[in-house]
Amino acid sequence: MDEDFNPSTTACLHLVSAFLAMEPTDCLISLARECGGGSITMEVQSFIWEECINRAACNINRPSDSYIKNFLKKVIVDVESNCSDVLDGLYEQYAYYLTALKDDSSMIANKRVCKSISFLFPDEGPSRPTSKLVVPLRCSLDMLEGDTGCSIWPSSLFLSEFILSHLELFSNKSCFEVGSGVGLVGVILAYVKAKKVVLSDGDFSSLANLKLNLEMNQLITGTDMPDRTLQDPNLMECIHLSWESASESRLRAFRPDIVLGADVIYDPICVPHLIRVLAIFLNPDKSNPCQRRGAPDDNDLAFGSCLGRTVYGDASNTKSQFDTSKKGTVAYIATVIRNLDTFHCFLKLSSENHLSVVDITETQKPLELLPYMQSYNRSSIRLFSISFSGDQNSGMVAG
C-alpha cells in the first residue's frame, strides 16, 4: 500500500481535469502514473474510481461512455503489465462497458460529446487550494463538423487564458466575437463580466450548438429574456453573421469596444471578407480612413510611431493598446499560422485597410491556466491586437 498517496496533489487535480476535458487517454495514463509516483498504485486506482468514474456517473456533463471505456482499458492494461492488482470496481465497470458498447459504432454515430475545460488559477498559498473555473461544452469529435465550428480549437483556449489574465481589459466592455464556434470565449467573457457579449457565427449548426452551450453554462441568450437590461453581465446575444454578407450598417450598429476571434484566419477565400468586417468595426469612419474616433493623445502618438514596421522587435512601445481608457475599438485575434500565404494575405489586406496588426503573444503572455492539457500546444499560437491606424502604411509589429 502507498502510505504517501495524497489526493490533493497537483498531479491528482490535473488527472481529473484532463479526464473531464477528454484529453487523449495516453495523457491520462501518464498523469495517473505521476499521481502514484511512477505507477498506477491501488490508491491511484481508487482515486480514479471515485473522482473520475463514479463522479462522472452522477454528472450529466460527463465524458462519453466510449471515452471512459478506453480509459479503463488503458488503466487495466498498464496495471496488469506491471503485474499489480487491478481494483475490482475498475474491472466490473470495464466489463459493463464491454457489453453495453459492443463496438465503437456508438461513438461514431454520436460524435457530440461534452468536454469540461477546467481553468486552474495559480495557487494562493498552501492553505488555499487552487481555484478553478470549469466550462462544460458540447462539441464534436469531428473537427470539420459544422464548418469547423463544433470543435474546440486551440486558439480559443489561448484567447480564453488571455482574457482571464487581463480581466481589466474586458470587464464592463462591449464585446463582439466573430466565428464563435462552440462558445468558449463567450462564456469566459461573461465570467469576467463584460458589459455585453455578442457571439456570432456563419454556420447554422455551429450556432445551434453554441446556444446549447450557453444554456448549459446558465448564460441565457438575449432573445430568450427580453426584459433583461444591457447592464446585465450575463446578457449574451447569439447571432448568425456571415462575413461575406453582413451589411456595413448592420455591423456598425453593434459598436463594440472589443472584437475577438479565435482560429478564424485559415481559409484564404474568407480572409478578405473577414478583413472587411474587422475594418468596419475598427474604423470609426470608413469613408475617411485618416479620421480616428476620439482626439489623439500621447498614447496614440506613441503607437503611431511604430506603424509601418514589419519587423519583429520590442513591442513595449505598443502599450497604448492596453490603455483601457483608449476610445478606439480594438480586436484581439488568436490564431495558429497553418499556411504562411494565407497569413501574409491577412497582413497585406490589413495594411491596405489601414489596420495595424501587433503581435502581443510574448509581450502580453497569458497565464498558463490549462497546465494539465498535454494536447494543447501553446507555442503554436500567436495573438494579435489590431486597431485602426489611419496610416496608409500600416504593418505588423511583433514582440
**Binding residue (CB under 6 A) for ligand SAM from 153, 162, 343, 376:** 153
Per-residue cell: 239? 447571432
- How far is the C-alpha of 351 from the C-alpha of 356, rounded, in Å? 7
Show Cβ contacts of residue 185 under 8 Å, excluding neighbours closer than 6 positions.
156, 159, 160, 163, 177, 199, 260, 262
Per-residue cell: 322? 492596453
Cβ of residue 282: shortest distance to ligand SAM, in angstroms?
17
**Binding residue (CB under 6 A) for ligand SAM from 155, 329, 353, 356:** 155
C-alpha of 244 from chain center: 24
- How far is the C-alpha of 198 from the C-alpha of 292, rounded, in Å? 24
Q: Which of 64, 160 has the CB closer to ligand SAM?
A: 160
Query: How is the beta sheet containing 396-398 ordered, strand by strand?
Result: 236-240, 196-201, 174-178, 258-262, 330-336, 381-388, 355-359, 396-398
Binding mask 156-185 for ligand SAM (x = CB under 6 A): x----------------------xxxx---
Binding mask 130-149 for ligand SAM (x = CB under 6 A): -----------------xxx
Contact between 263 and ligand SAM (CB under 6 A)? yes
> Could you give the C-alpha distances from 176 to 28, 219, 234, 253, 316, in angstroms and in order?
36, 16, 14, 12, 26
* Number of residues assigned to the chain: 399
Cβ of residue 118: shortest distance to ligand SAM, in angstroms?
17
Cβ of residue 174: shortest distance to ligand SAM, in angstroms?
19
Q: Which stretch binds ligand SAM (CB under 6 A): 46-54, 237-245, 322-330, 375-383?
A: 237-245
Contact between 217 and ligand SAM (CB under 6 A)? no
Contact between 206 and ligand SAM (CB under 6 A)? yes
Closest CA to 329 of 339, 317, 321: 321
For residue 178, give the H/E element and its range.
strand 174-178
Cβ of residue 250: shortest distance to ligand SAM, in angstroms?
13
| 3-state helix vs strand vs coil in the chain, percent to 5 | 40, 15, 45
Q: Which of 76, 182 has the CB closer to ligand SAM?
A: 182
How many chain residues bind ligand SAM (CB under 6 A)? 23
Contact between 349 and ligand SAM (CB under 6 A)? no
Q: Which of 228, 338 has the CB closer to ligand SAM?
A: 338
Contact between 43 and ligand SAM (CB under 6 A)? no
Residues that bind ligand SAM (CB under 6 A): 147-149, 152-153, 155-156, 179-182, 201-203, 206, 242-244, 262-264, 270, 273
